[in-house]
Amino acid sequence: MLQEFFTPSVQHALDLVGIFVFAISGALLAVRKNFDVFGMAVLAEVTALGGGLFRDLVIGAVPPAAFTDLGFFLMPLVATALVFFLHPVVERTQAAVNVFDAAGLGLFCVTGATKAYEYGLGLTASAVMGLATAVGGGVLRDVLANEVPSLLRWDRDLYAVPAIVGATLVVLCIRFEILNPFTSGFAAVTAFAIRILAIRFHWRAPRAWNRRSTATEEVAPEKATA
């Protein structure tokens, strides 16, 4: 059933789009961190390919597509060149990073869950792989940029939850045999919308119940330097 709607060419196109938008977010973060062009390229490559590389190793799709498809390697370099010459004013790059990161999150949670299922994983495991594909590159990006990953920060807006929702919608569509370009697009847009709304309205996951610690809260890096 999946092959009927997701031919190799369609899957490849979706992967390239996701790689491009994630690479844009990585390169823009490098601009905000004042990295040089090499640093921009590294951050773009890691952000774009990190999650998919992890997924492919787990599901046994080896060698990973990141090493066998020249387009996967070149797309982040194209994104780097675009950002190098046309990036927004530095003070406004965070908003652009958030939008492109949310778009990549939505696309990758869908393609990741779909590919995992095609390689024989169950529905639950496929949803987990969709989440890992979506957030893996962003985690590596933040680590290389010397930031605590957004995935782990209590003071950051929901990040993993939108990907979980998108991946869950995909496996539900698979379960009820209604997965097609429209429903997969709906899943990606839903994840994107939740992430954008979380940023807009500062939706955050709860911390430990009845937390009474008197320890001083860790100051976010951007706030500490404000």
Residue for token digits 């001083």? Answer: 216
Mean pLDDT of the chain: 86
Per-residue DSSP letter, 212: -
Alpha carbons 74 and 117: distance in angstroms, whole number: 27
Query: What tokens were used for 152?
Result: 């782990």
- What pLDDT does residue 178 have? 94
Condensed to tens digits (0 to 9), the pLDDT of residues 124-169 reads 999 999 999 999 998 999 999 999 887 888 888 999 999 999 999 9
Percentage of residues in the chain having pLDDT higher than 90: 60
**Distance (Å) of CA 165 to CA 130, 193, 202:** 10, 11, 18
pLDDT, averaged per 10 consecutive residues of the chain (226 residues), comes to 61 84 89 93 96 95 92 94 77 73 90 93 96 94 90 86 96 94 93 95 85 53 44
Neighbours of 22 (CB within 10 A): 33
